[in-house]
A and B are shown apart, each in its own frame.
Chain A
Amino acid sequence: MATTVSLINMKGGVGKTTLAFNLSWYCAWRANMKVLAVDLDPQANLSQYFMGAKKYRTYLEDDNNTVVEIFEQFSAPKSKKGSPTLLSPRSVIHTLHEWNDGSLIHLIPSRLELAWTLKNPTEKAQLLPQFLAKISDSYDLIVIDCAPTESILTAAAYRSSRYIFVPVKPEFLATIGLPLLARSLEEFRLMHQNQTIEMAGIILNDYRRTKTPPEQLASSRDVKRLAQEYNWPVLNNPAYHSDSYPTGSRGGTPIFLTKYAKDYVKGEFSGVAEEFLKSVNLK
Chain B
Amino acid sequence: MNSKVVQIALRICLIKEEFSENEILEAIKLLEDHGSASILLDYLAGRKAASKTRRSKHKSKSTIEQRSRVIISLQDEEPEKFELLSEFDSMIRQGKILSELDDIKRLGEQLSKDFAPKNSRRDAIDKLIDLLAKRQVDEIRTIIRTVSSSDSKNKDNDYQELARFIITGRSSQAKTI
Tell me the A residues contacting B by CB distance below 8 Å. Answer: 29, 48, 52-57, 60-61, 97, 99-101, 103, 112, 250-251, 253, 257, 259-260
**Min C-beta distance of B119 to chain A, whole Å:** 15
CA distance A55 to B174 in the complex (A): 14
B106→A257 contact, CB < 8 A: yes
Contact A61:B102 (CB < 8 A) given known A52-B158, A53-B162, A100-B112: no
Measured between beta carbons, the chain B residues less than 8 angstroms from A29 are 113
Which residues of chain B come closer than 8 Å to A55, judged between CB atoms?
146
* Residue of A55, A57, A61, A259 contacting most chain B CB atoms (<10 Å): A57
- Cβ-defined contact, B102 with A259, below 8 A: yes
**Mask: chain B, 99-114; 1 = CB below 8 Å from A; 0 = not:** 0001100100110110
The answer, yes or no, to whether B150 is at the interface (CB within 8 Å) is yes
23 A-B residue pairings within 8 Å (CB atoms): A29-B113, A48-B162, A53-B155, A53-B159, A53-B162, A54-B158, A54-B162, A55-B146, A56-B162, A57-B158, A60-B165, A61-B171, A61-B174, A97-B110, A99-B112, A100-B113, A103-B113, A250-B155, A251-B106, A257-B106, A259-B102, A259-B106, A260-B102
> Which residues in B have their C-beta under 8 angstroms from that of A60?
165
Q: Is the interface of A mostly helix, strand, loop or mixed?
A: helix
- The residue in chain B whose Cβ has the minimal distance to the Cβ of A251 is B106
A48 cross-chain contacts in B, Cβ below 8 A: 162
What's the count of A-B pairs with C-beta under 8 Å?
47
- The chain B residue sitting closest to A101, CB to CB, is B113
With A52-B158, A250-B155, A253-B106: A57-B165 Cβ-Cβ less than 8 Å: yes
Q: Would you give the shortest CB distance from B167 to chain A, in whole angstroms?
A: 10
A140 to B144, CA, bound (A): 30
The answer on a CB contact under 8 Å between B113 and A112 is no
Known A-B contacts: A29-B113, A61-B165. Give 4 more (CB < 8 A). Answer: A54-B158, A112-B166, A253-B106, A259-B102
